[in-house]
Amino acid sequence: MSIDSVSTPGRVAEDTEGITLDELALAARNHAMPLEVLRHDVTPVGLHYLLTHYDIPATRADTWQLSVSGSVARPLALDLAWLRHRRPTTVRVTMECAGNGRARLSPRPISQPWLVEAVGTADWTGVPLRDVLDEAGVDPSAVDVVFTGADHGVERGVEQDYQRALALDDALRPEVILAYEMNGSALPPQHGFPVRLVVPGWYGMAQVKWLRSIHVVDAPFDGFQHHAYRLRENTDDPGRPVTRIQPRALLMPPGFPDFMTRARIVDAGAVTLTGRAWSGHAPIQRVEVSLDGGEHWHTARLESDTGHRWAWRRFDFTWQATPGHYRLTARAQDAEGRQQPVDQSWNRGGFANNAIQLIQTLCR
């Protein structure tokens, strides 16, 4: 029997097609960050967004080993004790799934049906990747560095270990680390125990979990996950690679919610609207808030630079609320001029969607 009978090509939903059972199964297995958790500078581990492509593998710290091979002078076989004896570094990183916002697109790409909450910020501790590559001695012919995780599965008919690569220049950036701790404790199983790759500023698909090998190659990597994560208009479009996180601001919903619709209720008077903003390209420079779904904008107060380049920044705005119905939202702009759009350009994978959120709000 062929695995093609259970692993089918990617598709987009029909015009009137609701959420499928397969999408619901993915939504039950993976989870988003509740928006009220935006109150925390660092997301508690159990509330950080989570996407697992295949299964969480059975890994053990005492038997784990990381191979470093390929175009290097000194191939390595490293254990966890070796990494822990190196000089550690901690980087605070806002991580976002490349498919965040996918379920809001029309037509909807059939995959994990994220709304806007597939994000979280953590303190990752580990060893700079470039220290490990220096130890191995990268050959001058090297082009890409390939990372392979222990998670194994099949996707669109292709059986594989989860595998991604970085161009050598990206891999050697000082903020890229091999992390063995999250928020001061050992990585939990679902977040890549015992060691994962953390690439600040990039979408989540680059952050290979349950890392078991690093292979330096002298030609561009051409694996499945590099083809899968591209911005395409149709199946014939070669597309553009998904890499760094586009600017986004999210409001923490004010007041209290309706159970079913999550619409908010606030009382008239001064209401502090607060949230977080981030970009993987450049520091956040400006955040604006709208009360009418993006027709009119008001400048929010952005907190001072915290020194955490790769983490979100807090913003707030005081709203003198009067009775009525409102559509609250926010948008971010980074220091290189990228501005979060009101509407989203469609792509077949549902990637890099940073259109503004909308919070339906009743002021009474």
State yes or no: pLDDT of 4 exceeds 90.
no
Q: Which pLDDT value is given to residue 7? A: 86
Q: Could you give the count of Cα atoms lying within 13 Å of 156 in the half-sphere of its Cβ?
A: 10
How does residue 2 score in pLDDT terms, banded at 50, 70 and 90? Answer: confident
Instruction: Give the mean pLDDT of 8-20.
Output: 90
Each residue of 173-212: pLDDT tens digit?
Answer: 999 999 999 999 999 999 999 999 999 999 999 999 999 9
Burial of 205 (0-12, 13-18, 19+ CB in 10 A): buried
Each residue of 294-333: pLDDT tens digit?
Answer: 999 999 999 999 999 999 999 999 999 999 999 999 999 9
- The model scores a pTM over 0.75: yes
How does residue 229 score in pLDDT terms, banded at 50, 70 and 90? Answer: very high
Cβ-contact 186, 124 below 8 angstroms: no
State yes or no: pLDDT of 1 exceeds 80.
no
Look over the chain and give the mean of its residue pLDDT values, rounded to a whole number.
96
How does residue 344 score in pLDDT terms, banded at 50, 70 and 90? Answer: confident
Q: Which pLDDT value is given to residue 323? A: 98
Each residue of 230-265: pLDDT tens digit?
Answer: 999 998 899 999 999 999 999 999 999 999 999 999
State yes or no: pLDDT of 35 exceeds 90.
yes
Stronger pLDDT, 157 or 250, i.e. the higher one: 250
- Structure-token pair, residue 272: 């502090």
Q: Which pLDDT value is given to residue 196? A: 98
How does residue 6 score in pLDDT terms, banded at 50, 70 and 90? Answer: confident
Instruction: Give the mean pLDDT of 282-303.
Output: 98
State yes or no: pLDDT of 54 exceeds 90.
yes
State yes or no: pLDDT of 44 exceeds 90.
yes
How does residue 350 score in pLDDT terms, banded at 50, 70 and 90? Answer: very high
Nearest to residue 283, comparing CAs of 337, 241, 243? 337
Q: Which pLDDT value is given to residue 62? A: 95
Nearest to residue 250, comparing CAs of 37, 30, 4? 37
Cross-strand pairs, 285: none
Each residue of 57-103: pLDDT tens digit?
Answer: 999 999 999 999 999 999 999 999 999 999 999 999 999 999 999 99
Cβ-contact 205, 166 below 8 angstroms: no
How does residue 3 score in pLDDT terms, banded at 50, 70 and 90? Answer: confident
Stronger pLDDT, 285 or 15, i.e. the higher one: 285
Q: Which pLDDT value is given to residue 107? A: 94
For the chain, domains (ranges, CATH) are 3-228 (3.90.420.10), 248-363 (2.60.40.650)
Q: Which pLDDT value is given to residue 330? A: 98
Portion of the chain with pLDDT greater than 90, in percent = 95
